[in-house]
């Protein structure tokens, strides 16, 4: 190659630059004298990542990563053309691969469908963090190269197999119920303990990153950064949680408890919401139990008992207008007495 600096021909230009022009690296030389200005940027549409410099002869790579190489339309057309020329179709190629796998399993283990699940499970469990990360990236890249049509075809094929084997399209809940007799895999004791240990052993920074990622995903998909902020989901969770507690004997159904306790329970529900709206976190830090020096308590100025006797709606007794923060000594002396009249209660609502 001819050196653009001294106009002499050299068989190994990079070596010449190293000794004769040490101020010029091969990349700097290429950018100064050869690069047309459109190299060094990934050629996949929508990607502006920089690509790796190879050599003076080779210039820059066309893409920033292997995933983008596979997603490039020209590359995909070339791959499909090669497959058609060699095998006739992609389906035929997959059949050849499948036949090869079956022959190998039959030769080694005497069963074409042999699958050493225990070995695979142990390999995944004992995998180090770096290998696991590389494996995850490899899977992501592989799926990123697939077109929407290919993904749809894979899903349809998977569903057909599931219907053939099980008579229906399976999901995690169905599989957990069939294998372990539970509706959710996390209800299995060893799975539950494993999840708890995994989260307990994670550093605080990693937990924070996971929480932020989860919030962004929920906000993007549902419009709420937490499931309990969604009124519809919140109602479903509370209803299901209550039915589970009733089933386990830790919560009494409304028709199984005295009317006053039911009334008090409903007042408490509205009271908790009102406390959050009326008082700041700093104010609530001052609250405490009877006997704690300097502790304050939240008082219903028109008492719950009086509200029940006089037929006042629970949301009125539990409203923020009826709440007052007083010392525990004052609240203990007051007991079920009223510090305001019924007329005053109706007036402040």
Q: SS3 for 60?
A: strand
Alpha-carbon distance of 115 to 107, in angstroms, equals 13
pLDDT value of position 269: 92
Name the burial class of residue 344, with classes exposed (0-12), middle (13-18) and buried (19+) by CB atoms within 10 angstroms of its CB.
Answer: middle
Q: Which two tokens stand for residue 57?
A: 């002869």
Return the pLDDT at 74: 83
Number of continuous H segments (helices) and E segments (strands) in the chain: 18, 4
The 8-class DSSP code of residue 151 comes to H
pLDDT at 252: 64
CA distances from 66 to 38, 76, 114, 279 (A): 20, 12, 32, 56
Q: What is the pLDDT of residue 172?
A: 67
C-alpha span between 303 and 322 (Å, rounded): 9
Specify the pLDDT at position 256: 64
How confident is the model at residue 315, as a pLDDT?
92
Q: How do the pLDDT tens digits run along the chain, 349 residues long? A: 788 778 777 778 778 777 788 777 888 888 888 887 778 888 887 788 888 888 888 888 888 888 788 778 888 888 888 988 988 888 888 889 889 988 998 888 888 888 877 787 778 778 888 888 888 888 888 887 777 888 888 888 888 888 888 787 877 677 777 777 887 888 888 888 888 888 888 888 888 888 898 888 888 888 888 888 888 888 888 888 888 877 876 666 767 668 888 899 999 999 999 999 999 989 999 998 888 888 999 999 999 988 888 889 999 999 999 999 999 999 888 888 899 998 888 888 7
pLDDT at 26: 82
Distance, first Cα to last Cα, the chain: 91
Residue 296: strand pairing partners = 287, 327
pTM over 0.75: no
Rounded Cα–Cα distance for residues 180 and 202 (Å)? 28
Q: What is the DSSP string of 268-300?
A: HHHHHHHHHHHS-HHHHTTB--TTSTT-EEEEE
């Amino acid at each position: 190659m001819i050196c653009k600096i001294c106009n002499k021909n050299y068989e190994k230009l990079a070596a010449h630059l190293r000794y004769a022009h040490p101020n010029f690296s091969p990349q700097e030389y290429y950018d100064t004298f050869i690069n047309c200005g459109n190299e060094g940027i990934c050629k996949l549409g929508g990607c502006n990542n920089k690509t790796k410099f190879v050599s003076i002869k080779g210039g820059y790579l066309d893409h920033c990563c292997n995933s983008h190489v596979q997603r490039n339309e020209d590359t995909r057309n070339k791959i499909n053309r090669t497959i058609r020329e060699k095998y006739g179709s992609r389906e035929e190629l997959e059949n050849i691969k499948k036949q090869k796998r079956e022959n190998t399993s039959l030769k080694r283990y005497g069963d074409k469908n042999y699958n050493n699940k225990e070995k695979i499970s142990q390999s995944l469990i004992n995998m180090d963090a770096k290998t696991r990360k590389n494996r995850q990236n490899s899977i992501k890249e592989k799926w990123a190269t697939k077109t929407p049509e290919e993904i749809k075809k894979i899903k349809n094929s998977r569903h057909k197999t599931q219907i053939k084997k099980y008579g229906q399209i399976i999901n995690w809940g169905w599989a957990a119920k069939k294998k372990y007799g539970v509706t959710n895999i996390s209800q299995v004791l060893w799975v539950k303990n494993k999840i708890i240990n995994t989260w307990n052993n994670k550093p605080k920074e990693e937990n924070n990153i996971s929480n932020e990622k989860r919030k962004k995903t929920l906000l993007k998909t549902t419009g709420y950064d937490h499931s309990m902020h969604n009124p519809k989901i919140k109602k479903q969770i509370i209803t299901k949680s209550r039915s589970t507690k009733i089933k386990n004997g830790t919560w009494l159904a409304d028709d199984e408890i005295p009317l006053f306790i039911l009334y008090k329970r409903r007042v408490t529900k509205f009271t908790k919401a009102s406390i959050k709206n009326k008082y700041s976190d700093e104010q609530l830090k001052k609250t405490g139990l009877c006997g704690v020096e300097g502790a304050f308590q939240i008082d219903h100025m028109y008492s719950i008992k009086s509200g029940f006797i006089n037929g006042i709606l629970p949301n009125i007794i539990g409203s923020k207008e009826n709440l007052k923060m007083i010392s525990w000594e004052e609240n203990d002396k007051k007991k079920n007495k009223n510090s305001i009249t019924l007329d005053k209660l109706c007036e402040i609502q």
